[in-house]
Structure 1
Amino acid sequence: MVRIGRMASPPASPEFSLTRRNLIAALGAAALCPALPATGAAQGRTAVALQAKPDRISLRLDGPGPGGPETSVWSLGSNDLRFKRGEILDVTFGNDLPVAAALDCRGLDGVAAAEPLASRALLAAGGKDSFQLPLRHAGTFLCEPLIGDGGTAPARPLPLIVTGTSPVAVDRDEVLLIEEWRLRPDGSAIPAGNDPKDSTRIHTINGKTSYDISAPANARLRLRFINGSQRSVLAVKLENLDVRVMAIDGQPAEPFPARNGALVLAPGGRTDVFVDAAGPAGTSFAILLHDGTLARPVGKLAVSNDPPVRPAPFPPAPPLPGNDMPAQLDLKSAARFELTLGTPTEWFRPADFKPSAAPAFQAKAGRPAVLALTNRGPIASVLHLHGHHFRLLDRLDDGWKPFWLDTLAVEPGQTQRIAFLAEYPGRYLIEQVATDWAAPRLVRWYSVQ
């Protein structure tokens, strides 16, 4: 488990006892228990229009000033998408960018017909596409423009929140989207996949370089942390606050306390936590961010002067309602495959991907599959599996960590094994990217038949 020391210096220069390697190793170290069964799902159809378009954001640490420059970005809009489990989204996706793009939704299992590249080609500039997104699971997910080639601005992800049909006892439900930026001296941002030389690294939460949350005493908050960085594993810590982890990568977990209030997030990773605004009015808790080299404050949670919402904090929360994930995986009967990370061999940049390329593997519907992921590159590589969540297997391959993931960082020279039940027939992407800002995004595909 990652170790995060208490602050030994003023808030302006907090210290985490972390290294880049610690961050990546910590991703598989949490101990969770299986989630409870689901309680049913809502039904309905909702029309959703999403437009990939040029946008602007204020990122200069000294502020743009009146009429000053803002930074050009590409986005899908600024408002979180919120729906209920069981809804079917009738999506119209438009591309107002100057390059080809597709809609990529992270964490939505079994939506083969909407898979970018594998089922839906990149959309030319000015084009439109329509498809359906069935929301099978409640949780915290992420949509972003998948750029084919020639990106000149960073593409921002857009949180997708799917609520369950059973009420959850919280006073507030808030998304905290953490993004990493590489700014040139003129204030322009370098898109991931390009050399970040002569740039300054900054981080934002919900588009702000400092993000503060205020809540009355004893209020319970559900905070959905999302690592929107394109390349970096990040740790986030709520200083001196009890942080209870409730879900990882969109799937509920048996609640457990985050050690020292710290969370470790792979690029695109999501962790939902419950925290209580404990203490008298005026109490504040720093939100600290560590990128493997340096820790810095990025905001705070403050107890407001409003009257307490209840005489005392809620008791510890029960697990979130489950998502009907498989209770067991029969590893003895699983089909086994190997996948090499860290090298471009047999992998494609999105613009070069062809559906006629050979699949990385073909799984049989209804049968478990085990993937051995070996990183032969010089630095950590992050894998994201579309279409199915997976279990991280123990080193001896005789059991699994009791949590579900859709994203995993693998250290150089290491082999990790993951397992999933091939529930949903279709063609799905596999993505990998090295934890280097200049590294290209690479893709392959697999099929379930």
Structure 2
Amino acid sequence: MKNIKSLVSLPILLWVVLNPVSAIAAVYAGTVLDAKTRKPLENAFVTLGTTVVRTDFKGKFIINGSGDKLGIRAYGHARVDAPLSHDSAPITLAPFIPKAIYLSFYGIGDKSLRHAALDVIQRTEVNALVIDLKGDRGGVSFKSSIPLATQIGAQKITTIKDVSGLVTELHAKGLYVIGRIVVFKDNPLASAHPELALKTKGGVTWKDREGLSWPDPFSTTVWNYNIDLAVEAARAGFDEIQFDYVRFPDSPEPVYSKPNTEENRVGAISGFLGEARKRLIPYNVFLAADIFGYVAWNTDDTHIGQKLQNLSEVLDYLCFMLYPSGFKFGIPGYLNPVQHPREIVLLSLEKAQQRSSLPAIRFRPWLQAFRDYAFDRRWFKNDQIRAQIEASDHFGSDGWMLWNPHNLYGDGLRSK
């Protein structure tokens, strides 16, 4: 976050020039501290070019690489980029817990919805924004330089005129900015390139319940297209890249280029995320993915390629979609989840932590701020939304995100 940069003072305790002519590759060492407590930050990420290391229990690091700046980030803290220097003071990272609302592909471009969201942010505890960069129907909201995005018609409508300028504006307001990219639900890509599309057993292009076609999750062409978009977003300054629909369709019908086994599904999803993580290293950006709520409970991959243990190895933040309406079978002890929003959120997070052994700060759930569609059609308003938020806060997650497809917020939020 650019307004946090004033907190950074970069230590270079050791400078060894490995190439005295070009001064490109060098070794640097230093210490990373929490800006509030002044305590060492263990396992903070330090990046230099394509090299990344973690700090030890004393917050110390040594990194050997080439680049023009160091990138530093840690869970539960704002990331920083700092120019190389000989300053010996410790690097400090400010604690930061995102509390986010979501703006869709059209919401970010609609002046009234965008201004309404910023008004909510100004008045309430919200300090972060999730923005569609590639939406549920495959459209890319910003002007991308990737030829494939134009070729397949994903750029017919762009709702963000200047993505870098938008991020700069939001950072100036003190906001943490998350770029959402829908991955394997991509009708423009699958329609323009039927050789990449999932097929039926009869060999025609398969379509989901919305009449949309999906590209094959095993295809590296599909992987690279989405990762290229993520890299563009990282270059534009987004603090976090969040992949959604990073999964197989929840249907047994499609035919894939490889056998539809759990091992292959998990390998495809984890492989994509691992490759994305590798490509994003130079940009010091957090990586997250939206995960089915039942993945917290199921020991298999929920038949969509999302397996908790594998996801935890390649993501910074696991963003379980803990909408009570999405738990159509309930959870143990709570068969009608919409009557128990607090329990659904808290018990699911606790189950995920128990099974993964991850600290609470590695989770940031999506919470329901929309009308129930599966049980009694109740509206999720102040009490229901507040109950979910309090469950997430009690657990100690890295904040939370509210989902409303109409981009309307305000209920259940505390004033500043």
Larger proportion of strand = 1
Q: State if a TM-score over 0.5 links the two structures.
A: no
User: Structure 2 length as normaliser, TM-score?
Assistant: 0.28
Larger proportion of helix = 2
User: Structure 1 length as normaliser, TM-score?
Assistant: 0.27
